[in-house]
């Protein structure tokens, strides 16, 4: 059998995501784990092609439709992904000659059993390679923003109803930028300065994020698991905006905290760290798999004041009534604040799903409010920029349960604030 190429592996991942509905980060990890012998350069190429193609599907489809008599939505999934990824390489990867992108795409079509379409693939791509600059983009309004920033039209429409056009443009731009990985120092295993020095020794490029103590951006490494500092639990991968949640809780020594949807555990671990060896954090989640992810991170952290527990946040746990100083409800949401990291979410989400999520968030908030002590806090957070899930639900909660006062709320906007799009609301329960 012929040697499997990087482009073939990228195609495998793209089909897992677009045809089979797998999440992009899971599909990419799956294929890269399957072909572990690949060199760093090949892995980087595959990752770039997969993420880049996914990020820009609306624009790539617009370009293909400009030149092809068969429209993208009518193509066979394999041919569609071969063309999309080839057009991405032609337009966005300077290191790839147009001829190579065309030739490799034709070979791929033949290898995947579509030899009868080799002429079609070749013709469309050669035409695009020669005449890309002739494509006329929409000039204004929703079609312009949709194609220019590769956002589904329904989403552009929603954002324009909630934010001004300039903010929507800025978010669109931010989501398409390549960004380094954000990490947070585990202060139980050393100071931020010591971590920075170790990462430098490991050949990693490190930049500090001034808005959060112990936060860094890292780049230039191959495999995270290959870094001794990661294996030793010296840091966690966590977005900057997500790091702000634990700070908003303002935990005091000895407090009891329940994180009701904790996996993979970043915020719960942060809270346990801030308790400085005192108190207790109960990190809950729905499935055994999610609990095992939390346990893995607890083990790496070396923290003793935190445990992982399997518990459905929609099911009332009477044994927890009135026990927690802080309840953290970082709830399932539409994820529209993290499109820069998970570009496939913008194709999976729709208005009906958002409405169901608003209901689920309300159901969980109505359940977990019981666990807050008189005088205690409930923190509600999401990684979205959708107002109904954020300010809308905070207003609903405050009016439905007047014993909770809304102390503060903050919507973080990609391109304006550091990190992902994120929302945090802090409620204080009145003293009985």
Tell me the pLDDT tens digit for each residue of 214-259. 999 999 887 788 899 999 999 999 999 999 999 999 999 999 999 9
Q: What is the pLDDT of residues 54-113, one digit of tens each?
A: 999 999 999 999 999 999 999 999 999 999 999 999 999 999 999 999 999 999 999 999
Q: 1 pLDDT band (50/70/90 cuts)?
A: very low
Report the C-alpha gap between 74 and 80 in whole angstroms. Answer: 9
10 Å Cβ neighbour count for 34? 12
215 burial type by CB count under 10 A (0-12 exposed, 13-18 middle, 19+ buried):
buried
pLDDT exceeds 60 at position 382: yes
Cβ neighbours, 10 Å, residue 406: 16
As a whole number of angstroms, the distance between CA 140 and CA 146 comes to 10
Q: SS3 of 349, please?
A: coil
Query: What are the residue numbers of the active site?
Result: 383
Calpha distance 171→416 (Å, rounded) = 8
Do 270 and 261 contact (CB within 8 A), yes or no?
no
Measured distance CA(116)–CA(133) in Å, rounded: 29
Q: How far apart are CA 199 and CA 234, in angstroms?
A: 10
Residue 294's SS3 state is: helix
Provide the terminal-to-terminal Cα distance of the chain, rounded to the nearest Å.
73
The confidence band for 40, taking pLDDT boundaries of 50, 70 and 90, is confident
DSSP for residue 72: G
CB contact set of 143 (below 8 Å; sequence gap of 6+): 153
Helix/strand/coil for 250: coil
Q: Which residues, in sequence order, are bridge partners of residue 311?
A: none
Q: Report DSSP state, residue 139.
A: -
Q: Rounded CA gap, 357 and 146, in Å?
A: 24
């Amino acid at each position: 059998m012929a040697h499997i190429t990087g482009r073939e592996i990228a195609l495998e991942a793209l089909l897992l995501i677009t045809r089979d509905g797998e999440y992009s980060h899971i599909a990419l990890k799956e294929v890269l784990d399957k072909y572990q012998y690949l060199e760093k350069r090949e892995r980087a190429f595959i990752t770039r092609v997969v993420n880049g193609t996914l990020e820009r599907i609306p624009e790539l489809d617009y370009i293909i439709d400009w030149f092809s008599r068969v429209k993208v939505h009518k193509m066979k999934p394999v041919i569609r992904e071969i063309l999309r990824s080839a057009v991405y390489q032609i337009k966005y990867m300077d290191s790839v000659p147009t001829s190579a992108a065309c030739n490799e795409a034709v070979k791929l079509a033949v290898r995947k059993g579509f030899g009868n379409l080799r002429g079609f693939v070749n013709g469309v791509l050669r035409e695009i390679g020669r005449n890309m600059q002739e494509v006329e983009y929409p000039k204004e309004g929703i079609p312009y923003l949709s194609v220019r920033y590769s956002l589904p039209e329904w989403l552009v429409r929603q954002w324009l109803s909630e934010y001004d056009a300039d903010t929507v443009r800025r978010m669109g731009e931010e989501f398409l930028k390549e960004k380094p990985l954000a990490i947070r120092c585990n202060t139980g295993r050393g100071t931020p300065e010591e971590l920075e020095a170790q990462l430098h020794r490991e050949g990693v490029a490190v930049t500090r994020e001034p808005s959060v103590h112990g936060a860094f951006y890292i780049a230039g490494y191959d495999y995270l698991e290959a870094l001794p500092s990661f294996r030793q639990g010296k840091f966690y991968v966590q977005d900057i905006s997500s790091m702000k949640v634990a700070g908003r809780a303002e935990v005091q020594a000895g407090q009891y905290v329940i994180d009701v949807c904790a996996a993979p555990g970043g915020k719960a671990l942060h809270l346990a760290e801030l308790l400085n060896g005192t108190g207790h954090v109960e990190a809950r989640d729905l499935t055994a798999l999610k609990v095992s992810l939390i346990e893995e991170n607890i083990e790496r952290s070396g923290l003793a004041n935190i445990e992982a527990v399997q518990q459905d946040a929609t099911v009332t746990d009477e044994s927890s009534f009135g026990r927690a100083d802080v309840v953290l409800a970082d709830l399932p949401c539409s994820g529209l604040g993290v499109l820069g990291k998970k570009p496939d979410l913008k194709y999976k989400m729709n208005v009906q799903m958002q409405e169901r999520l608003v209901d689920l968030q309300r159901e969980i908030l109505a359940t977990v409010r019981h666990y807050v002590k008189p005088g205690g806090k409930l923190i509600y957070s999401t990684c979205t920029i959708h107002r109904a899930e954020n300010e809308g639900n905070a207003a609903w909660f405050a009016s439905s349960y007047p014993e909770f006062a809304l102390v503060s709320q903050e919507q973080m906007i990609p391109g304006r604030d550091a990190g992902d799009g994120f929302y945090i609301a802090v409620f204080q329960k009145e003293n009985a």
